[in-house]
């Protein structure tokens, strides 16, 4: 049995290694000028890699980190060079800013290399050691409900003051100042509550009790109000986990149903993003050259920063500080400390700020436009193709470890759901993003454990 398992694993590694080597070969013969046929070949190879992922990882239902990550990756790195650039290079807002068209081929191929490295990394962990299910004498959900009962009604009262206002940064009041920190910990408590439900149901198969149902209700109310105010990230995180839990413990969601939910999600979130920018729903559909791709523009536009990173590093050194500095966010307040200690310029705190600085400089951005980043651009700007290989191999390896141990302890369940919820927006963010979320949730979890111990003594 062990021989058969090892043989199968070695075959997977061999196939994925060949895929990766072939991707490097395509990079070596990359055309100097944009080539439509070259990019289509890269797209087809990416789709082939996704099929290998589904086959090798035996993905049974679609609400998984791997599949959601792959779909987001497709929209972020392959849609623009294959379907938009040939007909309307500047149809989307971010692409109206100048960038070098000659690096598009290389950028698409680099994205394929990164994805194939991610797949290979997943095949270098295969142990299935289990840890026994343990539970606390004190109900953690009870503590979380008490905390949310104090916070969410207060949030709703303040939300009501802003709902009728047109969208602006001021409308997202909970992302500013001290409220930003309170909101982050509130979201962590919701993460932990969902992880407790996942962990318990995975190991005991008990029905939802009244406290768990109440927790889900107030969490849905919180997500609903955030959505109305124009915030998409946290509600999307929450609903991804809810659909996953439904598919895992109630009824498995088919690929057909998943496709319908995916289309509805893209349409809804895309429309909300368009309205946030102050456009009407009529103008949203007026760009007939792009059609339904308009709705996925929030993902597609982040592709530009990869081309900027490639072009910038041709004549300049790698900006390793933009890659490393976001990792300091794992330790609360350490970023501010190291920023002052090392005298790091504000525009080098992460790759998104650096790309915005390259376009506008320090004083020419009166409208406070942010040009964003993406997971490949973040790695490449910081350390070139070597950083891309190391980091994406690590992402594949770590994600496999987390998936394997997701039901073994409450802490691994928390980490697993953070990775799952980050699967969509991580692709268009800094490569360090999930680690920051995990750090905050770990601190919140320690607070809950301390409160639980205090409760047991009462």
State pLDDT tens for residues 273-325: 666 555 544 444 455 567 677 778 888 999 999 999 999 999 999 999 999 99
CA angle 284, 98, 305 (to 5 degrees): 80
Q: Are 226 and 234 in contact (CB under 8 A)?
A: yes
Distance CA 372, CA 305 (A): 7
Q: Are 104 and 383 in contact (CB under 8 A)?
A: no
> Rounded to the nearest 5°, which phi and psi values hold at 286?
-75, -20
Q: Where would I find the H helices in 250-280?
A: 255-276
- Residue corresponding to tokens 């791709």: 293
Alpha-carbon separation of residue 225 from 190, 221, 409 (angstroms)? 15, 6, 32
What's the chain's average pLDDT?
86
What would the mean pLDDT of 241-246 be, rounded to a whole number? 90
Q: Convert the pLDDT of each residue in 45-97 to its tens digit.
A: 999 999 999 999 988 778 899 999 999 999 999 999 999 999 999 988 899 99
Torsion angle of C-alpha atoms 452, 454, 455, 458, degrees rounded to 10: 160
Contacts of 440 (CB under 8 A, 6+ apart): 184, 185, 188, 332
Which tokens go with 76? 């972020």
**Residue boundaries of the structural domains of the chain:** 141-276
Q: 251 pLDDT exceeds 70?
A: yes
Q: What interhelical angle do 433-457 and 410-422 show, nearest 10?
A: 150
Distance CA 156, CA 222 (A): 8
Which tokens go with 120? 């290979």
Q: Which residue has the higher pLDDT, 52 or 212?
A: 52
- Exposure on the CB side of residue 32, measured as CA atoms within 13 A: 0
Q: Which residue has the higher pLDDT, 429 or 204?
A: 429
Q: Convert the pLDDT of each residue in 96-150 to its tens digit.
A: 999 999 999 999 999 999 999 999 999 988 665 445 545 554 468 888 888 888 8
């Amino acid at each position: 049995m062990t021989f058969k398992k090892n043989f199968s694993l070695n075959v997977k590694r061999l196939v994925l290694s060949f895929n990766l080597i072939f991707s490097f070969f395509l990079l070596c013969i990359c055309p100097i000028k944009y080539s439509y046929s070259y990019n289509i070949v890269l797209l087809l190879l990416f789709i082939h890699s996704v099929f290998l992922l589904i086959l090798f990882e035996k993905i049974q239902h679609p609400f998984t980190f791997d599949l959601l990550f792959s779909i987001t990756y497709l929209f972020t790195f392959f849609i623009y060079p294959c379907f938009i650039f040939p007909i309307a290079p500047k149809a989307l807002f971010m692409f109206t800013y100048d960038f070098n068209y000659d690096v598009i081929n290389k950028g698409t191929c680099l994205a394929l290399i990164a994805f194939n490295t991610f797949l290979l990394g997943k095949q270098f962990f295969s142990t299935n050691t289990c840890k026994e299910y343990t539970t606390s004498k004190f109900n953690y959900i009870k503590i979380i409900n008490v905390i949310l009962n104090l916070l969410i009604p207060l949030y709703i009262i303040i939300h009501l003051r802003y709902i009728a206002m047109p969208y602006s940064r001021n409308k997202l009041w909970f992302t500013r100042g001290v409220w930003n920190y309170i909101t982050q910990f509130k979201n962590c408590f919701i993460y932990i509550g969902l992880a407790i439900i996942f962990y318990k149901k995975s190991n005991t198969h008990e029905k939802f009790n009244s406290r768990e149902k109440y927790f889900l209700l107030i969490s849905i109310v919180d997500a609903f109000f955030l959505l109305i105010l124009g915030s998409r990230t946290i509600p999307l995180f929450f609903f991804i986990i809810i659909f996953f839990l439904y598919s895992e413990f109630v009824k498995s969601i088919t690929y057909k149903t998943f496709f319908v939910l995916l289309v509805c999600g893209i349409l809804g979130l895309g429309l909300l993003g368009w309205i946030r920018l102050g456009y009407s729903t009529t103008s949203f559909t007026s760009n007939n050259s792009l059609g339904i791709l308009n709705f996925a523009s929030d993902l597609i536009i982040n592709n530009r920063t990869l081309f900027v990173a490639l072009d910038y590093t041709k004549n300049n050194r790698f900006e390793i500080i933009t890659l490393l500095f976001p990792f300091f966010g794992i330790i609360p307040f350490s970023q501010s400390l190291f920023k002052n200690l090392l005298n790091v310029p504000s525009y080098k705190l992460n790759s998104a700020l650096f790309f915005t600085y390259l376009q506008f400089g320090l004083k020419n951005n009166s409208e406070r436009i942010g040009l964003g980043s993406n997971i490949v651009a973040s790695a490449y700007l910081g350390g070139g193709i070597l950083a891309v290989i190391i980091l994406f191999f690590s992402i594949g390896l770590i994600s496999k470890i987390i998936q394997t141990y997701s039901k073994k302890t409450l802490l691994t369940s928390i980490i697993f759901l953070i990775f799952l919820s980050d699967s969509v927006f991580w692709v268009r963010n800094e490569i360090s993003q999930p680690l920051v979320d995990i750090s905050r949730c770990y601190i919140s979890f320690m607070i809950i454990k301390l409160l639980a111990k205090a409760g047991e003594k009462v």
